[in-house]
A and B are shown apart, each in its own frame.
Chain A
């Protein structure tokens, strides 16, 4: 059997409107992700990691190369890929429950059925009591949990997360990292998670894809053979962290 997600020879060139030099955002990007795997794309801002995620999500078309999910080529956004954005992107005019049910409603599912499924995911994120609340009544971390539930409710084949905790304070961020590990364990989803925080990638991922900027390329792929729950002070963790720091430092001396 092939891989869950395959990214082959992807290149993305942005052509500025004002006639300046084209910008190569991503070049020669190859990556295969297995079913149930948790992969982090790690790199400094401007390394094209979000662009790559947007290509996988189908929001952006690659200039060259292809992306396949379960062997089928990705060409447009679709409900087989759940997306969690940095700013929760919850629909503020819908209540929490309506947000979680959104994808199911669009697919024409009956109300009792989609309420049942939404409750299931609200239980998973521990926010069932907030079903009738509007997003404005939630904290940043709660919003992101709802956004995760919304992305999961349609039972996508893969979950794409674009720096989902980047805007949260350090403490909430830690809680959310535990939460996402728990959700991943409970659902067995394949997750591609974009971050610029080394610790975050090492706390979460099976493999960390370290990227270098301009053009965005894979610098190295590191397996993280640490048992969960992980401790950021364990010697192996610290060693891996130092290794990645070194990789990211090299870039600047190019």
Chain B
């Protein structure tokens, strides 16, 4: 991911200019009172609010609560989706049985099911974790089956003529061909899981970053609402970078890496 310094300069400067402009706007706003300054905090106000939250310890508790949910949900979702996706892509017979069910559930936005999950599983962690698992399942499953199906028939023939049996073909050829698709699915799944996490916490939680935004709203602590949003953004950004690094490492044999955006 080594970009030329010119690119990196431009990108950093762009962010820096944005932050500076925001700070200037917020200072001017405080002086001339276009908006109520409480509604429009500047970057420094937000840093100060974040500092307070960190000192009080609630920031870490929120981050840990949110991360625990996303990781558990994401893990459950992937552990179910990857093997099922592999099997469905590999065995044509199974495809005709599994596909219709998937297509039946896929168009339902996961959040529409949140009330149902809460009624079934209560307001605690289980309902949120499983909702995240449910929402991460689809992109991972679909990209995995797609990856398995994209196996080059020539590679299958080559492996057969080199004496590989069905299981060896699966582990050495099919799973390897599917890996790029699986990784794209994991990234999309994680992004969607993150989205569902925050929304679920806004609606039904007593901890976590989404909950903190909602609670800050009730107490009219606009700067803390910004802290919540900013921390969510930083976490999402960080995990995306980590997943991309992992992808670059695992797929270093590829000539080009597909840039999926979501």
Q: Which residues of A are interface residues toward B (Cβ below 8 A)?
A: 57-59, 76-79, 81-83, 85, 87, 89, 91-94, 102-103, 106-107, 134-136, 150-151, 154
Contacts and interface: CB of A to CB of B under 8 A. Distances in A.
Interface string B229-252: 000000000000000000000001
B161 A79 contact: yes
B253 A106 contact: no
A154 B162 contact: yes
Given A91-B173, A93-B176, A102 B157 contact: no
Contacts of B159: 91, 102, 106
Contacts of B172: 91, 102, 106
25 contacts: A58-B161, A59-B157, A76-B160, A77-B161, A78-B161, A78-B163, A83-B157, A83-B158, A85-B154, A89-B155, A91-B172, A91-B173, A91-B176, A93-B176, A93-B177, A93-B179, A94-B253, A102-B159, A102-B162, A102-B172, A103-B162, A106-B163, A134-B252, A151-B162, A154-B162
B254 A87 contact: no
B253 A77 contact: no
Contacts of B164: 102-103, 106
Given A57-B161, A59-B161, A79-B161, 5 more contacts: A82-B161, A83-B161, A85-B157, A136-B253, A151-B162
A99 to B, nearest CB: 9
A89 B156 CA distance: 9
B150 to A, nearest CB: 13
Contacts of A154: 162-163
A102 B164 CA distance: 9
Contacts of A81: 161
B162 A79 contact: yes
A151 B252 CA distance: 25
B168 interface: yes
Contact of A92 (B157, B160, B254): B254
Interface string B6-40: 00000000000000000000000000000000000
A79 B176 contact: no
A85 B157 CA distance: 10
A89 B158 contact: yes
Contacts of B218: none
A103 B163 contact: yes
Contact of A134 (B157, B160, B179, B253): B253
Interface of B: 152, 154-155, 157-165, 168, 172-173, 176-177, 179, 252-255
A224 B177 CA distance: 43
B216 to A, nearest CB: 48
Contacts of B255: 136
B161 to A, nearest CB: 4
Contacts of B173: 91
Contacts of B165: 106
Given A59-B157, A134-B252, A136-B253, A89 B152 contact: yes
A76 B164 CA distance: 12
A91 B155 contact: yes
B169 to A, nearest CB: 9
B92 to A, nearest CB: 15
A98 to B, nearest CB: 9
Contacts of A91: 155, 158-159, 172-173, 176
Contact of B253 (A57, A78, A92, A103): A92
A77 B165 CA distance: 11
B253 A93 contact: yes
Contacts of A79: 161-163
B157 A150 contact: no
